[in-house]
């Protein structure tokens, strides 16, 4: 989770010590898998955000129109709202 957060917000903080800490829990293969996954999502979520499309399903699994989905999920993902941190 820290890897995800820092790559987006403070990549300078990802240093040798950070990778040493990651290696206590993850193999080199898993670290690379996580890194490309994070990079991929970092790029695409920003792009998708500009397209203004919303989840196809409600939290209880109903298929939604885009207008219905916007009402449920709001104009932006919660994690992007500065006033409503996601953690």
Partner 1 sequence: MTYVTPLPREAITDPELCDLIAQSETLGVPDELFPRIIARAPEQAKPFMRALLMSHAQGNVDHKLKEIMRILLARFAGDKYFASLRSRKAREMGLTETRIDEGCFAYEDDDKGFSEAEKCALRYADLMFLDADQVNKAFYDEMKKHWSEAQIMELGAFIAFHYGMQMFMRSLGAKAAT
Shortest Cβ distance from residue 29 to partner 1 (Å)?
5
For residues 77 and 49, the answer to whether their CB atoms sit within 8 Å is yes
Minimum Å gap between C-beta 8 and partner 1 is 8
* Rounded-to-integer distance, Cα 43 and Cα 37, Å: 10
Q: Kindly list the distances between the CA atom of residue 9 and the CA atoms of 6, 24, 69, in Å, as whole numbers in the listed order.
A: 5, 23, 28
Round to whole Å and give the CA distance between 47 and 54. 13
Of 2, 5, 15, 71, the one binding partner 1 by CB under 8 A: 15
Size of residue set near partner 1 by CB under 8 A: 33
59 or 75, CB closer to partner 1?
Answer: 75
Binding positions for partner 1, 27-86, rule CB under 8 A:
28-33, 35-44, 46-52
Measured from the Cβ of residue 80, the count of other Cβ atoms closer than 10 Å reads 12
**Contacts to partner 1 by CB under 8 A:** 3, 6-8, 11, 14-16, 18-19, 28-33, 35-44, 46-52
């Amino acid at each position: 989770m820290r890897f995800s957060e820092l790559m987006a917000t403070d990549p300078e903080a990802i240093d040798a010590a950070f990778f040493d800490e990651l290696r206590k829990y993850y193999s080199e293969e898993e670290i690379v898998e996580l890194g490309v996954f994070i990079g991929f999502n970092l790029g695409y979520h920003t792009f998708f955000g500009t397209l203004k499309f919303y989840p196809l399903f409600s939290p209880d699994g109903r298929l939604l129109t885009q207008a219905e989905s916007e009402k449920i999920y709001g104009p932006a993902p919660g994690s992007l709202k500065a006033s409503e941190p996601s953690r």
